[in-house]
Structure 1
Amino acid sequence: MKKLAYITGSRAEYGIMKRLLKKIDGSDEIELTLVATGMQVDSKYGNTYKVIEEDGFKIDKLIDIKIDNSNNSKVLDSMSICQSEFGKYFEENKFDAVMILGDRYEILSVAIAAAIHNIPLIHLHGGEKTLGNYDEFIRHAITKMSKLHLVSTEEYRRRVIQMGEYPTSVFDIGALGAENTLMLNLLQLEELEKRFGKINERYYVVLFHPETITGVSVEAQINALTDAVDTFKNEYEFIFIGSNSDTSADIISNMLKSYTEKNNFKFLTSARPEEYLSLIKHSSGLIGNSSSGLIEVPSLKIPTINIGDRQKGRVRGENVIDVAASSEEIIEAIKKSKNTEFLEMLKNSINPYYQKNVMEEGYRIILEFLNSNSINEIKDFYDFKMEEN
């Protein structure tokens, strides 16, 4: 039986992977080990590792990296702890491969630790662009350490190959999140109200993360967002969800907690994957800059108002309304999201990240990789001919 470790650092990434992890965990051919770190084991973010345990998984180890996102130096301190702790963990525990998703800073530290221990890396969601955040270069760095790449669109597959990865190691399977949105048993509004209290039938979900490399003021962005919300607060309810643990995330959380308290709006530190998608399903739209607005939400035919440059460069569907972080543009976007013609168009829109049987195809490719001779071969750089001018 092959031994595969999956490292989870955030609620969002675990939500994407949950169905695939269940499939692997029930396999007779793969022994799955789960390790939780980052936001998952931080009380400030809700100790969300408990959700993983409640889902029936056994977590082998909790690795606290002392998250402090007050500045970039503190984030680097957390990364250093993470790399050191996983260096020890991989020294003491042997695996045929380590699987990771995405582009968060703690996952980069995990990838470095695994690569130095010569453990093959399986990477999901490589090749994507997010030009407003340090996730952009973290993601590409992880790609260069990985041996198997499961990407979410053909454009991303070409980009990973362009980075020198062999085409035979790069598979466009679509996005697990886009499929999950249609496969999970989402909650009715009545059940959501039992968990979160009374919810107005007309509401928006708001989820905003920091832009970490654009130099744009977080305070200015949040002020623009709340000024726009003020315009509609007598007409709609707004349900706010806490930010990721990126640099300056605490500023966002503090500002939004203060705002929601003054206006009697809900602020949820975290939400389970099913809760989050269910809240969006019954809403008038998602406002903010979360990748879920581009990848998962299109499957629900719900508008996404995408603010600023955090997701700049990512493939997007027709549900996405891109705006700058200005109150005027956000107000106009909210008006557009209510437009009858726009909503009718969404009914026939296509999610560019959706492919059938993503989970089954991902599992098949992972199992094939674990049993292949190439898994332990020295990784080479794939060169291709540049087009001449």
Structure 2
Amino acid sequence: MDANNVQQRRQIKVCIATCNRADYSKLEPVMAGIQADPDMELSVIVLGSHLIDDYGSTHRFISADGFSITQKLHTIVRGEDEAAMVESVGLSLVKLPDVLYRLDPDLLVVHGDRFDALALATSAALMNYRILHLEGGEVSGTIDDSIRHAITKLSHYHACCTERARQRLIAMCESPSRVLLSGCPSYDKLLRADTSSLERVCHRYQVDPNDFLIVIQHPVTTNQVESQKMFSVMVDAVIEFNHSTLFLFPNVDAGSKDLTRIMRRRGLESHGQHPNISTIKHIPFDEFMILLSKCKCIVGNSSAGVREAGAFGTPVVNVGSRQTGRETGENVVHVRDADSKEKVLRALQLQYGKRYPPSHIYGDGRCIPRILQFIKEIPFKSGIQKGFNFPAMPASSSQDIDHILEIQSALAIDMGGTNLRVAIVDLRGQIVYYTKVPNPPVFEERIDVLAALISDAKKKAVEHDCRLLGIGISTGGRVDPKEGALLDATSLIHDWSYVNLRALLSSKVELPVWVDNDGNCAAQGERRFGKGQGVKDCITVIAGTGIGGGIILNGEVQYGSTFCAAELGHVVVSMDGPLCSCGQHGCVEAYAGGATLDREAKSLHEAGELNDFLEADREVSGVHLTAAAKLGNVNAEKIVRRAGTALGTAITSMLHVVNPSHVILCGHLAPVYYNYVKAVIQQRALPSARKVEIVVSEISDPALLGAASLVLDYSIRRIYGNSH
């Protein structure tokens, strides 16, 4: 192929900003991964304490690691107090816009919870640049918590380290699809660390390779008086402990100069006064890993103790409240109320020289490939406006001009095995337009017919002054509603398994598409338009050709871990019962499904018992069986009673599992089974479960209206802010 005819894919422009030695240790593996990826272009902004001599001028190590620094920004206002932190943020906000405008990145990557990172996120968010935040969702004990969570709200995407962090981000209303459980980037290096050069590294930092302690303690900005007291207590304990010690200077946070004064007053920088103690401003991460893996203990309040040390099982004495809330392994002993030297000293004596099993709470060593793939899947061509997943709230009573001038409506589609049914449904559940056509047997034909039906319905919507907010699809089978994909179709439309209906249709029809299982749709239709209105906990049971349904608990549809919750037709009611269509024996559908009644009706007809109930030229079906039962045919009544009892038994089991307040029966067999179900529940349910209210649906087509609900529930909230 002629290379000139191959369209070159534009690289993703990723900008990484690093503020200090700690965040660089996490960002460096990400930077290396991006730099090596041919689909990405890396730019690097260096700011904060990287550029200050007193903190080691650590920008030199970034260049030494093979990264080209795109921009250096001097953003730290000296003073090391609260006002200086605020002024540093302000200075960053003044300088960053010009740099971001010039670099014009597709994505800005920021890390953690530093005040410098807050300035980065604020600038990028206000300038409409996408932000990927690393290590959000964590909890610690200082102002860092507030900063970290503020960055989370400004960021569009998140790569977090632990499952708890992921759950917190989702609880903070971040979209689950934008939250990646990646693990900690530094663990990709920690778990592959080469520690063979220990003696050389220890010689460089003047510690005994066989017997040394690491000390890292930073100021607690929210309580500096207590922070200084704890620091003094910790220093005195380390001096009295009298082991070879590598003491790192504190970071640039407010209060650090006071801690540095304490170090100097204790003579820690004087090797003659304390020959066992070496002080250092910065250690490159590759060397720090070696020291961390072999030291006898690490003491202080650095996150390195509660996070990185666990990779090696290194014992830790965590002092004070700075890491309160962090997830830790068994290698950590906390001295949260460090009010005496003796307490810290005792913790050191207990921990020093121990070895714990490595813990991988924060990573498994495969973080970087996950993050790179996550970046590549970001839809950069879509709008940048961020949304939030707020919990459901009562609708507001305000009005919008669109409500007055147009009928807000959904285009509902029910994909049955026999027919495709399409309807325009308004906010009150009224069907404004309806049509149905036979469901084509071939996949490609089905898509074309659907597209044509939707096109016609859009024209009808204009004629009826309807504003279509989207398309909701109800279908049999197992559905992933988040992806809009049909995972396992029913036997009648088996060639639709593993089909992403949302992707197939949304590009053709230019409307958002929602997809769900027909049982779940029926439950949602009842919740919005039928007997489930105002009910928080209910089970909807469809008694039709088969048995299906949906479960709503605390106002939310229950999908289960693999989207097969509420397969009510396959609740087993007899260990050796008849064969079900699923291949198993004794399912309730094998007793109570309409297809079963059809077969039983044919058997009775062949025995000559249904002749009085047949109309001319009509094929015998379950309808004739139920009519015969109603009029006293003993054998027909016996079959219907067995079916109703089986359904009641299955529902009783469900009552004992989820304890709903309501059970809604729908489908053409619902009135037939109603009394049997009620009787079985009164006989077999626990007394506390008998209070459930059993009702028959008054909606003619709950699955179709439920498909409309998929659209209306989401779109109305999104447009008018009632819950999303």
TM-score range, shorter chain: over 0.9
In the alignment, the residues of structure 2 paired with residue 257 and residue 171 of structure 1 have an alpha-carbon distance, to the nearest angstrom, of 44
In the alignment, does 2:139 pair up with 1:126?
no
Number of the residue aligned with 1:49? 59
In the alignment, the residues of structure 2 paired with residue 114 and residue 99 of structure 1 have an alpha-carbon distance, to the nearest angstrom, of 10
Q: What CA deviation, in whole Å up to 9, does each residue of 1:195-219 have, x standing for no partner?
A: 2235352111000001111354333
Number of the residue aligned with 1:136? 145
In the alignment, the residues of structure 2 paired with residue 186 and residue 325 of structure 1 have an alpha-carbon distance, to the nearest angstrom, of 33
In the alignment, the residues of structure 2 paired with residue 356 and residue 46 of structure 1 have an alpha-carbon distance, to the nearest angstrom, of 29
In the alignment, does 2:96 pair up with 1:83?
no
In the alignment, the residues of structure 1 paired with residue 282 and residue 224 of structure 2 have an alpha-carbon distance, to the nearest angstrom, of 27
Contact 2:48/2:75 (CA < 8 Å) preserved in 1? yes
Q: 1:336 aligns with which of 350, 372, 389?
A: 350
In the alignment, the residues of structure 2 paired with residue 5 and residue 77 of structure 1 have an alpha-carbon distance, to the nearest angstrom, of 24
Number of the residue aligned with 1:266? 278
Question: Which one-letter code corresponds to 1:306 in the other structure?
Answer: N
Structure 1 unpaired stretches of 5+: none
Question: Which one-letter code corresponds to 1:165 in the other structure?
Answer: E
Task: Give 1:118-267 correspondences, 5 Å limit.
Answer: 118-131=128-141, 133-186=142-195, 188-197=197-206, 199=208, 201-233=210-242, 236-259=243-266, 260=268, 261=270, 262-264=273-275, 265-267=277-279
Number of the residue aligned with 1:99? 109
What is the deviation of 1:333?
Answer: 1.0
What is the deviation of 1:93?
Answer: 2.5
For residue 151 of structure 2, give the secondary structure of its aligned residue in structure 1: helix
For residue 361 of structure 2, give the secondary structure of its aligned residue in structure 1: coil
Q: What CA deviation, in whole Å up to 9, does each residue of 1:81-129 have, x standing for no partner?
A: 0111002212332111100110100110111111110000000000111
Aligned identity (percent) is 26
Contact 2:15/2:42 (CA < 8 Å) preserved in 1? yes
Question: How many pairs are equivalent?
Answer: 378
What is the deviation of 1:151?
Answer: 0.5
Q: What CA deviation, in whole Å up to 9, does each residue of 1:308-328 have, x standing for no partner?
A: 000111111111111022322
In the alignment, the residues of structure 2 paired with residue 186 and residue 23 of structure 1 have an alpha-carbon distance, to the nearest angstrom, of 23
What is the deviation of 1:193?
Answer: 3.4
Contact 1:67/1:245 (CA < 8 Å) preserved in 2? no
In the alignment, the residues of structure 2 paired with residue 198 and residue 102 of structure 1 have an alpha-carbon distance, to the nearest angstrom, of 31
What is the deviation of 1:303?
Answer: 0.6
Q: 1:36 aligns with which of 14, 23, 46?
A: 46
Question: Which one-letter code corresponds to 2:57 in the other structure?
Answer: N
Distance 1:187 1:118, change over 3 A: farther
In the alignment, the residues of structure 2 paired with residue 263 and residue 362 of structure 1 have an alpha-carbon distance, to the nearest angstrom, of 45
Number of the residue aligned with 2:427? none
Question: Which one-letter code corresponds to 2:344 in the other structure?
Answer: I
What is the deviation of 1:380?
Answer: 1.0
Poorly superposed stretches of 4+, deviation over 6 Å: none
In the alignment, the residues of structure 2 paired with residue 268 and residue 277 of structure 1 have an alpha-carbon distance, to the nearest angstrom, of 15
Q: 1:297 aligns with which of 305, 309, 316?
A: 309
For residue 386 of structure 2, give the secondary structure of its aligned residue in structure 1: coil
For residue 263 of structure 1, give the secondary structure of its aligned residue in structure 2: coil
Number of the residue aligned with 1:325? 338
Question: Which one-letter code corresponds to 2:221 in the other structure?
Answer: T
Question: Which one-letter code corresponds to 2:259 in the other structure?
Answer: I
Moved more, 90-99 or 146-155: 90-99
What is the deviation of 1:186?
Answer: 3.7
In the alignment, does 2:38 pair up with 1:25?
no
Contact 2:207/2:245 (CA < 8 Å) preserved in 1? no
RMSD over aligned Cα, in angstroms? 1.9
Distance 1:199 1:25, change over 3 A: same
What is the deviation of 1:237?
Answer: 1.1
Q: What CA deviation, in whole Å up to 9, does each residue of 1:204-236 have, x standing for no partner?
A: 100000111135433311220122113311xx1
Number of the residue aligned with 2:387? 380
Structure number with the bigger relative contact order (C-alpha 8 A, sep ≥ 6) is 1
Question: Which one-letter code corresponds to 1:83 in the other structure?
Answer: L
In the alignment, the residues of structure 1 paired with residue 152 and residue 391 of structure 2 have an alpha-carbon distance, to the nearest angstrom, of 17
Question: Which one-letter code corresponds to 1:44 in the other structure?
Answer: D
Number of the residue aligned with 1:278? 290
Moved more, 87-96 or 239-248: 87-96
Q: 2:364 aligns with which of 355, 359, 362?
A: 355
Contact 1:150/1:170 (CA < 8 Å) preserved in 2? yes
Structure 2 unpaired stretches of 5+: 1-10, 394-552, 555-724
For normalisation by structure 2, the TM-score amounts to 0.50
Moved more, 379-388 or 177-186: 379-388
Distance 1:31 1:333, change over 3 A: same
What is the deviation of 1:338?
Answer: 3.3
For residue 186 of structure 2, give the secondary structure of its aligned residue in structure 1: helix
Contact 2:202/2:208 (CA < 8 Å) preserved in 1? yes
